Amino acid sequence: MNFRTPIFLLTALILPGLAIAGDDMPGKAEFQTCIACHGANGEGNQALNAPGLAGQSESYLARQLWDFRSGKRGKEPGDTAGAQMLPMAEALPDGEAITNVAAYIAALPAAQPAATVEGDVANGQKQFTSKCGACHGGEGWGNEALFTPRLTVIGDWYLIRQVANFQESMRGVHEDSKYGKQMAMMAKTVTADELNDIAAFLNEQTQQ
Ligand code: HEC
Ligand code: HEC
């Protein structure tokens, strides 16, 4: 009889959905090259323009890495931060490395970025619910079925900059960027003030 099984089951019941990034996961090796900018725990680093990655969905992370490599992201004029990330994605040796590093990062405990903006949380909730929640989930946790990222782990400053990038044609303009184009249309529905309030609302949301 295996005595470990009941303990494992109990842990699984107590901690539903809490995935642990195991030391033995193959993506750990690839992740070492990301730490310099994204932080040892994938928490992000505003001074380097590098967003929080930990806890982001695996499918979104992998797709962004492919998008950088295929020129769908990081190549538009003016996108200096994207241009910095592009060679990092290209340096990953192959598709297996992309899958592995995305799985590792997704399993890290979700990043908890510090708030850098203040705003009208009630208005932010109203704006988010009517303009963003249908795709990104009511609390901004993302929806893999709709290919949307989790907005609570990335950092408010990065969220604001990315929406501006979509508005200013620095992201989501490549003809094959199906999901980027979708978001570019939505980005045009918010003003800077509304976006600030949305960021303040998302800062109030707990992590999954
Ligand atoms: C030299 C610094 C640097 C290194 C090293 C680096 N990144 Fe980045 N990364 C960035 C910056 C800057 C951005 C923001 C790009 C933008 O603003 O569009 C970024 C963005 C990303 C994104 C997009 C996140 C999102 O929410 O859309 C992913 C995914 C990513 N990096 C993964 C990685 C992985 C995996 C590695 C290691 C293999 C890595 N990065 C190494 C600087 C770096
Ligand atoms: C029709 C569905 C849809 C709606 C509505 C929508 N988005 Fe998105 N959003 C997407 C998709 C799809 C992506 C992924 C784009 C990609 O793969 O490059 C995205 C990406 C983003 C990103 C990039 C995150 C990152 O990690 O780089 C931000 C920020 C964002 N959305 C914010 C918003 C905000 C704020 C609103 C409301 C004003 C909103 N979205 C409304 C579909 C939507």
pLDDT digit string (tens) for 76-115? 999 999 999 999 999 999 999 999 999 999 999 999 999 9
Which of the listed residues 64, 66, 88 should we mutate to test ligand 1's pocket, taking the one with most ligand atoms within 8 A of CB? 88
Taking the centre of ligand 1 as the mean of its atom positions, its distance from the CA of residue 8, in whole angstroms, is 35
Q: Which of 87, 91, 79, 106 is nearest to 25 (CA)?
A: 106
Taking the centre of ligand 1 as the mean of its atom positions, its distance from the CA of residue 196, in whole angstroms, is 23
pLDDT bracket for residue 4 (50, 70, 90): low
Dist. CA 150–CA 89, nearest whole Å? 20
CB atoms within 10 A of CB 2: 7
Is 26 within 8 Å of 34 (Cβ atoms)? no
Q: Which ligand is nearest to the CA of 69?
A: 1
pLDDT at 196 over 80: yes
Is 113 within 8 Å of 21 (Cβ atoms)? no
Residues ≥6 apart with Cβ < 8 Å to 196? 117, 119, 124, 160
Give residue-wise pLDDT tens across range 7-59.
Answer: 444 444 444 444 566 677 889 999 999 999 999 999 999 999 999 999 999 99
